[in-house]
């Protein structure tokens, strides 16, 4: 059996974002500024690679401090009690540069099976001789299934926050 090669996320060349409808008419984009993850692969093409990831809820940033504080509160993520969002799963090739990443996603105190779509961007050796690989990861979830229940309706009957959340990650990993 081959020895697994370990890769770690390069946070300076990666971003973890989410998008959610606001008042049904526009989209708010947010990100997690602090995160870490690893990929352990026994093959050059990442088939069957084990992936683990976590993001610090306290690092949430939507470009509005008041909204960020609300998201960190008990109405949403309850960052004090549940400081991390985590994922652990396996990459499976679907052909060409397309993969699926299936595993367990934990938000607050709820863990559910979840599958992301993954596009493999390839790998390259940088100026410093480091071997890097890039991935674009995306998925959609219903926030209420993970205990993010807070909701409000405007006087006109519009929903303040949509239930569907899009997760998008552009990740560069460095071979260890």
DSSP output for 59-97? GEE-S-HHHHHHHHSTTTT-TTT--EEEEEEEEEEEETT
Write the pLDDT tens digit of every residue in 23-63: 556 678 889 999 999 999 998 889 999 999 999 999 999 88
Q: What is the CATH number of the domain that holds 81?
A: 2.40.128.110
The string over 104-114, giving b where at least 16 C-beta atoms fall within 10 Å of a residue's C-beta and e elsewhere, is ebbbbeeeeeb
Confidence of residue 165 (pLDDT cuts 50, 70, 90): confident
Instruction: Give the domain range for residue 35.
Output: 5-175
Domain count, the chain: 1
Burial class for 174, CB neighbours closer than 10 Å (0-12, 13-18, 19+): middle
Q: Give the separation between CA 149 and CA 139, rounded to whole angstroms.
A: 19
> Dihedral of CA 32/35/39/40: which sign?
negative
Q: Give the separation between CA 56 and CA 166, rounded to whole angstroms.
A: 18
**Coil/strand/helix, residue 31:** strand
Among 6-20, 26-40, 91-105, 154-168, which is the least confidently predicted range? 154-168
Write the pLDDT tens digit of every residue in 79-107: 999 999 999 999 998 877 899 999 999 99
**Coil/strand/helix, residue 12:** helix
């Amino acid at each position: 059996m081959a020895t697994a090669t370990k890769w770690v996320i390069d946070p300076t060349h990666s971003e973890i974002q989410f998008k959610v409808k606001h008042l049904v008419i526009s989209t708010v984009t947010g990100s997690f500024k602090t995160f870490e993850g690893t990929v352990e692969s026994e093959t050059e093409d990442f088939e069957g690679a084990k992936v683990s990831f976590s993001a610090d809820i306290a690092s949430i940033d939507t470009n509005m401090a008041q909204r960020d504080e609300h998201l960190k509160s008990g109405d949403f993520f309850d960052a004090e009690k549940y400081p991390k969002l985590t994922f652990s799963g396996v990459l499976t090739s679907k052909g060409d540069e397309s993969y699926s990443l299936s595993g367990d996603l934990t938000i607050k105190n709820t863990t559910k099976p979840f599958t992301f779509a993954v596009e493999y961007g390839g790998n390259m050796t940088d100026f410093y001789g480091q071997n890097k690989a890039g991935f674009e990861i995306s998925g959609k979830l219903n926030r209420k299934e993970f205990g993010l229940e807070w909701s409000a309706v405007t006087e006109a009957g519009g929903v303040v926050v949509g239930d569907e959340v899009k997760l998008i990650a552009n990740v560069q990993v460095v071979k260890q």
